[in-house]
Amino acid sequence: MSWLEDELTEQPHALARLIERQQGTARRVAELLARDDVKYVLIASRGSSSNAARYAQYLLGRAHRVPVMFATPSLYTIYEQPPRLDGAAVIGISQSGASPDVASVLAEARRQKRPTIAITNNILSPLARTADEVLVLEAGDEKAVAATKTYMNSIGAVALVFAAADGPVAESELAQMPEILERQIALSRESAPLLDEYSDAIGATIVGRGVNYGTAFEVALKIRELSGLVVEAYSPADLMHGPIAAIQPRWPVVLVAPSGPARPSVEDVVLPLRERGARLLAVSDVGAVLRRAQTRLPLVPHVPEWLSPLTAVIPGQLTALRLARLRGLDIDAPVGLRKVTLTR
Q: Return the amino acid letter for 305.
A: E
Shared-domain flag, residues 167 and 193 = no
> Could you say which of 138, 159, 175 is where a domain stops?
175
Instruction: List, for residues 90-142, the tens digit of each pLDDT value.
Output: 999 999 999 999 999 999 999 999 999 999 999 999 999 999 999 999 999 99
Shared-domain flag, residues 207 and 311 = yes
Three-state DSSP string of 309-336: HHHHHHHHHHHHHHHHHHCCCCCCCCCC
Range of the domain at 42: 3-175
Domain assignment present for 202: yes
pLDDT for the residue numbered 341:
74
pLDDT at 342 over 90: no
Domain assignment present for 142: yes
Shared-domain flag, residues 223 and 168 = no
Domain assignment present for 339: no
Q: What is the mean pLDDT of the chain?
A: 96
Domain assignment present for 53: yes
Nearest to 88 by CA among 128, 51, 24, 35: 35
pLDDT for the residue numbered 187:
98
Shared-domain flag, residues 206 and 112 = no
pLDDT for the residue numbered 339:
67
Q: Is the backbone of residue 80 left (phi > 0), alpha (psi -120 to 50) or beta? A: left
Shared-domain flag, residues 30 and 165 = yes
CATH number of the domain to which 245 belongs: 3.40.50.10490
Angstrom distance (rounded) from CA 254 to CA 197: 14
Angstrom distance (rounded) from CA 254 to CA 294: 10
Instruction: List, for residues 261-312, the tens digit of each pLDDT value.
Output: 999 999 999 999 999 999 999 999 999 999 999 999 999 999 999 999 999 9
Shared-domain flag, residues 17 and 159 = yes
pLDDT at 338 over 80: no
pLDDT for the residue numbered 70:
98
Shared-domain flag, residues 148 and 273 = no
Instruction: List, for residues 318-333, the tens digit of each pLDDT value.
Output: 999 999 999 999 998 8
Task: Give the pLDDT band of residue 343 (cuts 50, 70, 90).
Answer: confident
Angstrom distance (rounded) from CA 151 to CA 93: 10
Instruction: List, for residues 164-201, the tens digit of each pLDDT value.
Output: 999 999 999 999 999 999 999 999 999 989 899 999 99
Shared-domain flag, residues 92 and 185 = no
The structural domain count of the chain equals 2
Shared-domain flag, residues 18 and 166 = yes
Shared-domain flag, residues 77 and 21 = yes
pLDDT at 242 over 90: yes
Shared-domain flag, residues 155 and 215 = no
Angstrom distance (rounded) from CA 313 to CA 233: 13
Instruction: List, for residues 13-58, the tens digit of each pLDDT value.
Output: 999 999 999 999 999 999 999 999 999 999 999 999 999 999 999 9
CB atoms under 10 Å from CB of 118, counted, come to 28
Q: Which residues partner with 22 through β-bridges?
A: none
